[in-house]
Structure formats: C-alpha cells, structure tokens
Amino acid sequence: GGSVMAAMRDVEIDPEGTFKYILVRLQRPGGGEQRDIVRGTKAAEFHNHIFEKVNPEMEKLGYECKCLGGGKIEHNSKDKKIRVFGLSTGYGKADHSVTVEILKKEYTDYEITWSDDKK
C-alpha cells in the first residue's frame, strides 16, 4: 500500500545538537518504488546503531534497506540552521547534497548547508 509509504516520514532527526546520521534507500523487493530517508540521533554511538534500528522497522513494512552512507548533522533549532558534514567509517560518506534536499522538504524555513569537512 502506498499509504504506508506516504505516512512514513522522510526525515527523523533529533531536534537539537550534533549527531550521527545515515541516508537509507528503501526499495520494494524486485524493483518497484524506492525512496531515500534520513535518520539521525544522538542516541546512536555508531552509524550502524541507527541502521540496526531502521532496518527491521522497514522490513516489516515490506522494504529492503540499503545504507547509502552517513555523516553528521548539526541541528540548531533556535537559529533554524542545519549543517550536514563528516562521514561514516563503516558506510562511507553519504551524498550530503541529497540529504540536504530531503531535509529541505521537512525544514522548509531553515538554512541548510553541507560540506565535506570532518568536523
């Protein structure tokens, strides 16, 4: 059902602070529809902790998950700014420009930037 996909949020990140994030591609088995989602939280010490939480949730909904890479997000809700940077040792660097486009859909009034800086 497309309704489940519509209800699922493209972005789930902590409301404040600097934390790890991953870019995940969801796909219906055998091709079909796909979409990329952003997940990030301070609760995750490592990038794979985020993936290990997302993967079973999405499999229940009938999606195959592939991590496209990771990095860090700095979320300043007071100034309405988000900065995307860094990389994941295990998954490699996500395409931060893709991440920014996804974030812009959710945080429409934010200034959102990215760089390849490590910190």
Per-residue CA distances from 52 to 23, 28, 55, 58 (Å): 13, 19, 6, 11
pTM here? 0.92
**Residue 80: which domain range?**
11-115
Catalytic residue, candidates 47, 49, 75, 96: 47
Partners of 22 in the beta sheet?
39, 70
Model confidence pLDDT, tens digit, residues 59-99: 998 999 999 999 999 999 999 999 999 999 999 999 999 99
CATH of the domain at 37: 3.50.20.20
Q: Is 119 known as a binding-site position?
A: no
| Whether residue 47 lies in the annotated active site | yes
Model confidence pLDDT, tens digit, residues 25-56: 999 988 888 999 999 999 999 999 999 999 99
5 inside domain:
no
Residue 20 in tokens:
């790890």
48 inside domain:
yes
31 inside domain:
yes
6 inside domain:
no
Q: State how many domains the chain has.
A: 1
